[in-house]
């Protein structure tokens, strides 16, 4: 199944009926910095720092590319912003809060405001497509009926309505990626971090995928889109955060 033109060109059904979860900024208001890193560095247990002295800010409602060759640190930077890892030095502010001052139990509330599309999808193979997409809502204690309605809308939007009862193992890479996108936005997070979401797709489908993310962006969601695909980046006029050897060079 391919993404239909309807899906590409129209607003997501969920957003059209239910815009409440996404804040829209009046244009006169100064942009809120949803993320701010100040000289942040990060290393894994093995020791060496893989992110070095990174300072950046992300405005609410913006669309950003995160670029850099394989190993440059894109996934590591996304996990730092998503609070999956913590900096070894420096400050990570999220929604105005200095997260380095927070205790571990205070992090989940902030994490829930961020949706993540993982490079390796991270779908649960023992659950159906609709159960995977609905899981964040189930964990948030949402009613079954509401979960079913939201999940159905989003699966239609990503062009996978017919696959709601399928297991992830029978899906293609691009289909799994679309399930991962639906799951990442089902709670209407303030910000979406997408890690190489079009990495496994051919050129035409890659552009269609970009339109999915642009639809979310136009609806008010802040989007950070990691890719090493310079051709894709050059086709769209969005600001680029570029990493090289763990340093931000642009």
Using CB under 6 A, list all residues that contact ligand ATP: 44, 46, 50, 68, 70-76, 119, 228
SS3 of 143, please? coil
Q: Using the minimum distance from each CB to Mg ion, give the nearer residue, 74 or 150.
A: 74
Decide if 41 contacts 51 (C-beta within 8 A): yes
Query: Closest distance between Mg ion and the C-beta of residue 76, in Å?
Result: 8
C-alpha 3/C-alpha 23 separation (Å) is: 27
* Host H or E run for residue 248: strand 247-248
Query: Closest distance between ligand ATP and the C-beta of residue 216, in Å?
Result: 22
Site for Mg ion in 38-77 (CB under 5 A): 74-75
* Secondary structure percentages of the chain, helix, strand, coil, to 5: 40, 20, 40
Site for Mg ion in 180-219 (CB under 5 A): none
Report CA 6 to chain centroid distance, whole Å: 22
| Among ligand ATP, Mg ion, none, partner that 231 touches (CB below 5 to 8 angstroms by kind) | none
Helices (H), the chain: 5-9, 13-17, 74-81, 107-111, 129-139, 144-157, 173-185, 203-218, 230-235
Query: Closest distance between ligand ATP and the C-beta of residue 43, in Å?
Result: 8
Query: Closest distance between ligand ATP and the C-beta of residue 228, in Å?
Result: 5
Q: Using the minimum distance from each CB to ligand ATP, give the nearer residue, 47 or 141.
A: 47
Give the dihedral sign, CA 38/83/125/146: negative
| Among Mg ion, ligand ATP, none, partner that 188 touches (CB below 5 to 8 angstroms by kind) | none
Report CA 203 to chain centroid distance, whole Å: 21
| Among ligand ATP, Mg ion, none, partner that 50 touches (CB below 5 to 8 angstroms by kind) | ligand ATP
| Among ligand ATP, Mg ion, none, partner that 46 touches (CB below 5 to 8 angstroms by kind) | ligand ATP
Q: Is 79 in the site for Mg ion (CB under 5 A)?
A: no
Q: Using the minimum distance from each CB to Mg ion, give the nearer residue, 41 or 119.
A: 119
- Which neighbouring-strand residues pair with 19? none
Which residues make up the interface to Mg ion (CB under 5 A)? 74-75, 119
């Amino acid at each position: 199944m391919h993404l239909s033109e309807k899906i590409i060109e129209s607003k997501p059904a969920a957003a059209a009926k239910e815009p409440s979860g996404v804040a829209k900024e009046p244009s006169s208001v100064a942009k809120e910095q949803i993320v701010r890193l100040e000289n942040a560095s990060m290393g894994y247990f093995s020791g060496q720092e893989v992110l070095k002295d990174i300072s950046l800010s992300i405005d609410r409602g913006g669309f950003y590319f995160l670029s850099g060759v394989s190993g440059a640190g894109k996934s590591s930077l996304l996990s730092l912003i998503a609070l999956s890892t913590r900096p070894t030095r420096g400050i990570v502010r999220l929604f105005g809060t200095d997260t380095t001052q927070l205790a571990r139990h205070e992090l989940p509330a902030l994490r829930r405001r961020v949706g993540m599309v993982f490079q390796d999808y991270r779908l649960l193979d023992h659950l159906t497509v609709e159960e995977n997409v609905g899981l964040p809502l189930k964990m948030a204690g949402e009613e079954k009926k509401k979960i079913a309605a939201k999940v159905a809308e989003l699966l239609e939007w990503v062009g996978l309505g017919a696959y709601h009862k399928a297991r992830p193992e029978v899906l293609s890479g691009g289909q799994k990626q679309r399930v991962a996108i639906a799951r990442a936005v089902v709670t209407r997070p303030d910000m979406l971090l997408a890690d190489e979401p079009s990495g496994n797709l051919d050129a035409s489908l890659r552009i269609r995928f970009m339109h999915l993310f642009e639809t979310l962006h136009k609806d008010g969601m802040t989007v950070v889109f990691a890719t090493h695909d310079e051709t894709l980046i050059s086709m769209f006029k969005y600001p680029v955060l570029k990493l090289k050897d763990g340093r931000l060079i642009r």
